[in-house]
């Protein structure tokens, strides 16, 4: 901070990193409110606080956004130890509260007592829509299998519009280029993941993540579902819920003769890797992608079967075929040993190694599935 005046140095102390200042929670029990281990923070906040992700005018800034785990009723409060207006004339602090109010719906709680009262009513919350899939994940911490369910919902479900308004606020903190969708457009489908757990003997549900899919019209009588947004909330990441959700959504659309193929809007690198895993797994059930057929190379039968049964376009089918050839470890080793690294151009080396790494990752995960 060399070259700054004394005043500038003092004012710099009132700058807060908003990714660190925002405290998020999914609350199941009153004691969660004081448990720091249940707190998580945004990956991004530039869409609310600007590219530098800084709020000016506060020391010890805490922006509390606590959600009841199931219905996502919200506690919103701004705390700080010192505000610049109190110590300097003619200097205004950023209006942090107004910025947050722009993305969260009205009706939130302002104090802990009101929030805890809402928490007591959580037993009445039930997932929206129709149940598509139930699965379990073993929890080392709990020492037991945890049950999860995936539902398909739409805006005709009572209470879902208000729930979705609260749910979509997480997009701003965890998807770099997120935007809110037009929920009045009936071509949107919503897929939700919930954890089912017990509290005092009663079954309750906690929000895990969700996906939005837009159904594009394809002349003359088909639709092309396009995945728009997908998010697994941080407390549940790394447990396989993304793969379960994406596979469930694919199986839902695969069953419809009106669906031409399934695509994604501006997919991230992580989404592409997840989709590769899911599609290769699904292809293992297709006769045209058997080990014997794959040895004969890519064929028109593969195109037809993958398109009709998996709703996969031709480009993606070729990638799947390459990975399916390597499903057995000895076949993967033979594939890699046939490549002479000395013959590769220097500028292709990095790309090649990344491709090999991606194939290994998908295949290793399939071996464990």
**Annotated catalytic sites, by residue?**
265
Is 70 in contact with 207 (CB distance < 8 Å)?
Answer: yes
* Distance (Å, whole) CA 36 – CA 25: 9
Among 169, 236, 228, residue whose Cα is nearest residue 208:
236
- Contacts of 218-223 spanning 24+ positions with Cβ under 8 A: 218/260, 221/258, 222/258, 222/259, 222/260, 223/256, 223/258, 223/259, 223/260
Quote the DSSP letter at residue 105: P
Q: How far apart are the first and last CA of the chain?
A: 53
Extract the tokens encoding 368.
């464990």
A 10 A CB-CB count for 27 gives: 23
Distance of CA 353 to the CA centre of its chain: 27
Instruction: Please state, in angstroms and rounded to a whole number, the distance separating the CA atoms of residues 254 and 248.
Output: 10
Query: Contacts for 355-358 with beta carbons within 8 Å, 24 or more apart?
Result: 358/273, 358/276
Instruction: Find, among 339, 140, 143, 181, the residue nearest to 265 by Cα.
Output: 181
Cis preceding linkage at 314, omega within 30: no
How many Cα atoms sit within 13 Å of 292 on the Cβ side? 1
Kindly list the strands in the beta sheet with 144-153, ordered across the sheet, starting from the edge strand earlier in the chain: 130-139, 144-153, 188-199, 202-218, 222-232, 263-264
């Amino acid at each position: 901070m060399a070259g700054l005046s004394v005043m500038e140095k003092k004012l710099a102390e009132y700058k807060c990193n908003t990714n660190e200042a925002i405290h998020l929670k999914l609350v199941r029990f009153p004691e969660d409110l004081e448990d720091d281990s249940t707190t998580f923070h945004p990956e991004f906040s530039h869409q609310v606080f600007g590219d530098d992700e800084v709020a000016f005018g506060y020391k010890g800034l805490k922006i509390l956004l606590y959600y009841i785990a199931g219905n996502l009723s919200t506690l919103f409060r701004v705390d700080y130890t010192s505000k610049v207006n109190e110590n300097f004339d003619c200097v205004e602090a950023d209006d942090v509260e107004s910025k947050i109010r722009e993305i969260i719906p009205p009706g939130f709680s302002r104090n802990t007592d009101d929030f805890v009262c809402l928490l007591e009513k959580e037993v009445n919350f039930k997932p929206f829509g129709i149940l598509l899939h139930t699965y379990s994940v073993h929890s080392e911490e709990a020492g037991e299998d945890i049950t999860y369910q995936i539902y398909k919902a739409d805006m005709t479900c009572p209470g879902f519009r208000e729930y979705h308004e609260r749910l979509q606020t997480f997009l701003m903190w965890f998807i770099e280029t997120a935007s809110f969708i037009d929920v009045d457009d009936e071509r949107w489908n919503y897929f939700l993941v919930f954890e089912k757990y017990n509290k005092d003997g009663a079954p309750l549900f906690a929000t895990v993540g969700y996906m939005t899919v837009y159904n594009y019209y394809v002349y003359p009588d088909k639709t092309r579902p396009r995945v728009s947004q997908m998010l697994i909330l941080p407390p549940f990441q790394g447990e396989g819920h993304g793969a379960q959700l994406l596979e469930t959504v694919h199986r839902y659309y695969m069953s419809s003769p009106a669906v031409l193929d399934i695509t994604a809007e501006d997919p991230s690198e992580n989404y592409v890797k997840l989709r590769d895993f899911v599609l290769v797994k699904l292809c293992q059930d297709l006769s045209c992608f058997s080990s014997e057929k794959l040895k004969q190379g890519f064929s028109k039968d593969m195109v037809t079967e993958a398109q009709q049964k998996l709703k996969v376009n031709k480009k993606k089918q070729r990638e799947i075929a390459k990975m399916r050839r390597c499903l057995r470890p000895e076949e993967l080793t033979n594939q890699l040993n046939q490549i002479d690294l000395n013959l590769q151009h220097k500028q292709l080396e990095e790309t090649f190694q990344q491709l090999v790494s991606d194939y290994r990752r998908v295949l290793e995960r399939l071996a464990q599935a």
